[in-house]
A and B are shown apart, each in its own frame.
Chain A
Amino acid sequence: MSVFRKVIAPQLTRVTIPPMANDFITLLKITSLASVTSLRELMTNTQAAVSSSFRFAEWYGAAAIYYLILVSIFMLGQSWLERRYVWTSQARGPRSLIRAIGR
């Protein structure tokens, strides 16, 4: 029936957003560990650039800024989502997400 859609899903989403978003951001940060394998990601490329130019501060600094920007974007998304699930009559933004789940 519509019990899951109308009753359980909204309440369940509310409690799962914070831990899921946290885990997601953690996952993003530890992608840097993939540089010890042969996978070419941000950290691998940074280390390659460092080893060819010997400009440690510049390259690692640039990498740090990239990580900061990426994580900040996801954090904004997280806080937006969390705010959408505060059930008060005042702070109501667009309800599109709840509707998307509701359909």
Chain B
Amino acid sequence: MTGHILDEAVIRELAATPGTEYVVEARDVWKRYGTNDVLRGVSLGVHRGDVTAILGPSGSGKSTFLRCLGLLEPIERGEIHLDGARVGVRERRGRFVPLPERLLARQRTDIGMVFQRFNLFPHLTAVGNVMIGLTEVRGMNEPDARATARVMLDRVGLGTRATYYPSELSGGQQQRVAIARALVMRPKVMLFDEPTSALDPELVGEVLTVVQQLADEGMTMIVVTHEMGFARKAANRVVFMDDGQIVEEADPNSFFTNAQSARAKDFLSKILTH
């Protein structure tokens, strides 16, 4: 793996901008599936360079929250702001209505998303997966897009696998392709939805190394994870969710050693015992 993953200019820029303003902010987000309130008033702000880990039991709404932030799910109530501007809606006759899909797609380009099951395109090679956003959304010409994609694959350690199809790659390699695919669009924030949950234990490390390096380079990230060790090491903030709400927010050390809420204590006692 080469020295850096993000472009050097981007790293310098990230280091230079003080993290005082929120890159992503959710204000009182509500989400309902049928009669089931999955998110019940979630508010969260993430500063530039922040690495926020979202923890919580299954069904607590972590992944849903991330999908709402990534503009993949419409929300019932609340606001999502990206770099100070409200996203996902537009004003029509004094009311906010959801954006049409075409405009949503444009706003999504600022958000990098990595999924639990990789979600690579099976009919495209690794480099094809990474470059498709550049050619189809950014309108870049094919040779340039291919070159940019290859550089990004090289940085996540997959320079020699560029022409392989997803079915020929290991889980860890596929997930790194997915990370490269997200990064190549130069997103303002990266959202990881349990990036290592579908991986064999021995492949978890290679993915977390990449994520850790991104954190070190100043990338703004929100990571839903069950890797407690990783959350503790890489994140500078831990958010604990339960039943569609944020129960506790703390820095990793105090969360893991001295959780305040009873629900978080219970959760930690169950997962840290073995």
Instruction: How many A-B residue pairs have C-beta atoms within 8 angstroms? Tell me.
Output: 26
Question: Which residues of A are found within 8 Å of B167, using beta-carbon distances?
Answer: 87-88
Known: A2-B136, A6-B136. A89 touches B122 (CB 8 A): no
Using A2-B136, A87-B123, A88-B168 as known contacts, list a sample of 13 further A-B pairs with CB atoms less than 8 Å apart, ordered by residue number in A.
A1-B136, A6-B136, A7-B121, A10-B123, A11-B121, A11-B123, A14-B123, A87-B165, A87-B166, A88-B167, A89-B125, A89-B163, A89-B168
Instruction: List 9 A-B pairs, Cβ < 8 Å.
Output: A1-B136, A6-B132, A11-B121, A11-B123, A14-B123, A85-B123, A88-B165, A88-B167, A88-B168
Contact residues, A1-30 vs B (CB, 8 A): 1-2, 6-7, 10-11, 14
**Complex-state Cα separation, A84 to B69, whole angstroms:** 39
Main secondary structure, interface of A, reads loop
**Complex-state Cα separation, A7 to B167, whole angstroms:** 16
Kindly state whether residue B102 has any CB partner on chain A within 8 Å: yes
**Complex-state Cα separation, A85 to B154, whole angstroms:** 27
Q: How far is the CB of B250 from chain A (nearest CB, A)?
A: 41
B122 touches A11 (CB 8 A): yes
- How many residues on chain A are close to B (CB under 8 Å)? 11
**Complex-state Cα separation, A2 to B105, whole angstroms:** 12
- Please name the residue on chain B nearest to A14 by beta carbon: B123
Q: How far is the CB of A8 from chain B (nearest CB, A)?
A: 10
Question: Which residues of B are found within 8 Å of A1, using beta-carbon distances?
Answer: 102, 105, 136
- How many residues on chain B are close to A (CB under 8 Å)? 14
Q: How far is the CB of B65 from chain A (nearest CB, A)?
A: 26
- Chain A residues within 8 Å of B, Cβ to Cβ: 1-2, 6-7, 10-11, 14, 85, 87-89
Question: Which residues of A are found within 8 Å of B164, using beta-carbon distances?
Answer: 89
Interface string of B120-133 (1 = CB under 8 A from A): 01110100000010
Question: Which residues of A are found within 8 Å of B163, using beta-carbon distances?
Answer: 89
**Complex-state Cα separation, A89 to B122, whole angstroms:** 12
Q: How far is the CB of B117 from chain A (nearest CB, A)?
A: 15
Question: Which residues of A are found within 8 Å of B125, using beta-carbon distances?
Answer: 89
Q: How far is the CB of B71 from chain A (nearest CB, A)?
A: 16
**Complex-state Cα separation, A76 to B122, whole angstroms:** 25
- Please name the residue on chain A nearest to B121 by beta carbon: A7
**Complex-state Cα separation, A28 to B176, whole angstroms:** 47
Question: Which residues of B are found within 8 Å of A10, using beta-carbon distances?
Answer: 123
**Complex-state Cα separation, A79 to B125, whole angstroms:** 22
**Complex-state Cα separation, A85 to B124, whole angstroms:** 11
**Complex-state Cα separation, A10 to B129, whole angstroms:** 14
Question: Which residues of A are found within 8 Å of B102, using beta-carbon distances?
Answer: 1
Question: Sorted from nearest, which 8 A-B pairs have the closest CB atoms?
Answer: A10-B123, A87-B165, A89-B164, A89-B163, A2-B136, A87-B123, A88-B165, A87-B122
